[in-house]
Amino acid sequence: MNNVRALQTSQPSSAAGGTLALSLAALGIVFGDLGTSPLYALQASFGGTLGVAATHANVIGIVSLFLWSLILMVSIKYVLVLMQADNHGEGGLLALLALLVGERTGRVTRHGALRWVFMAMFGTAMLYGDGVITPAISVLSAIEGIEVATPAFAHYTVPITVLILVVLFAVQPLGSGRVGVAFGPILAIWFVTIFILGMVSLVQTPGILAAFNPINGITFFARNGFKGFVALGAVVLCLTGGEALYADMGHFGARPIRLAWYGLALPALTVCYLGQGALLLRNPGAADRPFYTTVPAWGLYPMVMLATLATIVASQALISAVFSLTRQAAQLGLSPRVTVRHTSSSTAGQIYLPGLNWVLMVGTIAVVLGFRTSDSLAAAFGIAVSTTMAITTMLFAAYARVRLLWPVWRIVLVAGVFMMVDLAFVAANAMKFADGGWLPLSIGAITFVISTSWLLGLRALQRARKDSGLPLDSFISSIAAAPPYRVSGTGVFLMAAGKSVPITMLHHLKHNQVLHEQIVLLTLLTEEIPRVSPAERFTVERLEQGFVRIEGRYGYLEMLNVPQLLEQALQCAGCPAYDAMMTTFYLGRESLSVQTKQRPVRHMLLSLFSRLRKNELDATAHLGLPPNRVVEMGARLNLI
């Protein structure tokens, strides 16, 4: 997902060559999921107990719904409207949340914006369901082409899919950058190929062009009644990956994404769906595998190989997106800190989360073994996609009202139309709950409970931490009046925003009766922007008695590096230079207990928070501190 940041920054934004290169890269990262949806989307409309019959009118009606969904929900909603709501160039649910609340999450919750935080958390949680299902349905639908070529090989579909997924997750430690350069060309070849296949079929049966008339989509519902409404659960599958257009905006910029969409992806998808529809007008019996039936017999095996490569690219992009999303949530205080490994020395965005990677692998393989066919998985897929799309629209409507100050009529005209379509998709997919819709909801619910317990627990922890209440200037004056023994070197203490002396330093002075010659009081703030410019990275204030106050600021896409921050800040302030071997970092280590006299749900959430806190990535690794220069001081706190 993040493997082209270096490409973006190394090319002038005004250069046509740079824009074309970014557009090619965007094909692989942004459009992998959207581009491979023709493998399973249309066939889901006619399959299963709730599928409609592949009659002439129904085929034209369904294809019309597909085309107008791409036009309204992708071309207009995401590409034209939502891309204008960027947080310093970044997009996605968390970026939209940051735009909406406009302050650091901890303060905003006290000002009535907690509902938007929880809404964004739930939408983000649903994306984890998407992250488990996308690799499963994408690779499975590609390998199912073997069944069309040689039906006798049908029982090999699931084992081959599992093998490919194991290899895909096993190579994640190498980093997506190693293979990222091939993502764009592979998807470009894929889009050109499905465009040609669709055009060949379209030329044979041009009557499918009637699908461009939206009236045919409307009359489809009148003709099929309840089954027509339920068919929307399959139509939404053509929009899978639409969120990536918005979420990956910061990696490529709006212009390259729009160029890739309008220049290749949209025409290819449109012609591909028209071609599949034309095939069904000629041969309704092909409704169970319309994509592979458009492929000539001699090209089936090469097409299966190309489809497999394309779905691997789509899966890789979503895996990287989940990695990035998890890191962002941790930086914003919405989830526990996790181990993050950088897989590139030149591109900060290329990361690997080992624990999450293996959880995703186990979950994805379990989904393949449990559902076994892409048709079965289609019901599970739709509800994750439609729910996330609806939440994005709600947050945008709130942002337009609160920050952009749009009048109500304009919000109703724009966001209201999107919301009607989104809710229709959600309602249609809710009908498939028993057929698999429970899966992403279960994954999303588990993720949401974890995020909720973490946010609730952090607020309880802040209340439990007793502020010393001792003003810093009074403390420094007391040090001047009765100086303790001073040892050489620098002592670094983390300090909350404000002017109270850190408890950790008071405990250190009380028990050890000494202070370092130089005392650094360090405050770290995560801003609600993706990245903080170097000029605004820190502020330094030199105080008396060798005290230095440093306030460091980081964006939610950045990794903390405290030694580097100290080196730059101390040099800027003219203080003694940072020496790793003469610096000691003092951290508080808290043991948490949960009081039993409280509501059962709150007790359960705080107990979960306590366990998560105990097993999260420790502060030493999170702050990038040298382990042999850290001293931890314990404290026991009660959460209420």
Q: What is the pLDDT of residue 333?
A: 79
Query: How far apart are the C-alpha atoms of 103 and 336, rounded to whole Å?
Result: 20
Lowest average pLDDT, out of 27-36, 269-278, 563-572, goes to 27-36
Query: How far apart are the C-alpha atoms of 204 and 200, rounded to whole Å?
Result: 7
Question: Which of 428, 458, 488 is the last residue before a domain boundary?
Answer: 458
325 located within any domain: yes
Same domain assignment for residues 372 and 419: yes
Question: Which of 423, 458, 493 is the last residue before a domain boundary?
Answer: 458
Same domain assignment for residues 235 and 104: yes
The 8-class DSSP code of residue 556 comes to T
467 located within any domain: no
Q: What is the pLDDT of residue 16?
A: 59
133 located within any domain: yes
Host domain of residue 241: 5-458
Same domain assignment for residues 517 and 413: no
Query: How far apart are the C-alpha atoms of 571 and 548, rounded to whole Å?
Result: 12
229 located within any domain: yes
Q: Which residue has the higher pLDDT, 596 or 322?
A: 322
pLDDT band at 4; cut points 50, 70, 90: very low
463 located within any domain: no
Does 10 have pLDDT greater than 60? Answer: no
368 located within any domain: yes
Per the CB < 8 A criterion, the answer to whether 187 and 33 are in contact is no
Same domain assignment for residues 439 and 505: no
Lowest average pLDDT, out of 15-24, 69-78, 268-277, goes to 15-24
Q: What is the pLDDT of residue 636?
A: 80
**CA quadruple 100, 103, 105, 110: dihedral sign:** negative
Average pLDDT for residues 422-444, to the nearest whole number?
88
Task: Give the chain's radius of gyration (CA, Å).
Answer: 27
CA 167 from chain centre, in angstroms, equals 23
Query: How far apart are the C-alpha atoms of 545 and 516, rounded to whole Å?
Result: 10
Helix (H, G, I), strand (E, B) or coil at 52: coil
Question: Which of 458, 481, 511 is the last residue before a domain boundary?
Answer: 458
Same domain assignment for residues 434 and 481: no
Same domain assignment for residues 502 and 440: no
Same domain assignment for residues 238 and 102: yes
464 located within any domain: no
pLDDT band at 6; cut points 50, 70, 90: very low
Q: What is the pLDDT of residue 14?
A: 42
Per the CB < 8 A criterion, the answer to whether 376 and 234 are in contact is no
Query: How far apart are the C-alpha atoms of 625 and 524, rounded to whole Å?
Result: 14
pLDDT band at 11; cut points 50, 70, 90: very low
Model confidence pLDDT, tens digit, residues 327-383: 878 877 788 888 888 766 545 556 788 889 999 999 999 999 999 888 888 877 788
CA 5 from chain centre, in angstroms, equals 16
Model confidence pLDDT, tens digit, residues 553-588: 998 878 889 999 999 999 988 888 899 999 999 998
Q: What is the pLDDT of residue 530?
A: 80
**Residues forming a β-bridge with 237:** none
Lowest average pLDDT, out of 24-28, 101-105, 153-157, 616-620, goes to 101-105
Mean pLDDT of the chain: 86
Does 88 have pLDDT greater than 80? Answer: no
Closest CA to 240 of 34, 89, 389: 34
Q: What is the pLDDT of residue 631?
A: 92
Model confidence pLDDT, tens digit, residues 54-84: 999 999 999 999 999 999 999 999 999 998 8
Same domain assignment for residues 497 and 610: yes
Model confidence pLDDT, tens digit, residues 235-250: 999 998 888 778 777 7
- How many of the other CB atoms lie within 10 Å of CB of 125? 27
Average pLDDT for residues 468-481, to the nearest whole number?
86
Give burial (CB, 10 Å; 0-12/13-18/19+) of 513: exposed
Model confidence pLDDT, tens digit, residues 187-225: 999 999 999 999 999 999 999 999 999 999 999 999 998
Same domain assignment for residues 452 and 493: no
Same domain assignment for residues 424 and 518: no
The predicted model scores a pTM of: 0.81
Q: What is the pLDDT of residue 468?
A: 57
pLDDT band at 410; cut points 50, 70, 90: very high
Same domain assignment for residues 392 and 516: no
108 located within any domain: yes
Average pLDDT for residues 153-163, to the nearest whole number?
88
Average pLDDT for residues 594-621, to the nearest whole number?
86
Same domain assignment for residues 97 and 177: yes
Q: What is the pLDDT of residue 467?
A: 64
Q: What is the pLDDT of residue 503?
A: 86
pLDDT band at 181; cut points 50, 70, 90: low
Lowest average pLDDT, out of 92-96, 304-308, 581-585, 623-627, goes to 92-96
Q: What is the pLDDT of residue 17?
A: 61
- How many domains does one find in the chain? 2
Q: What is the pLDDT of residue 199?
A: 97
CA 428 from chain centre, in angstroms, equals 25
* CATH value at residue 346: 1.20.1740.10
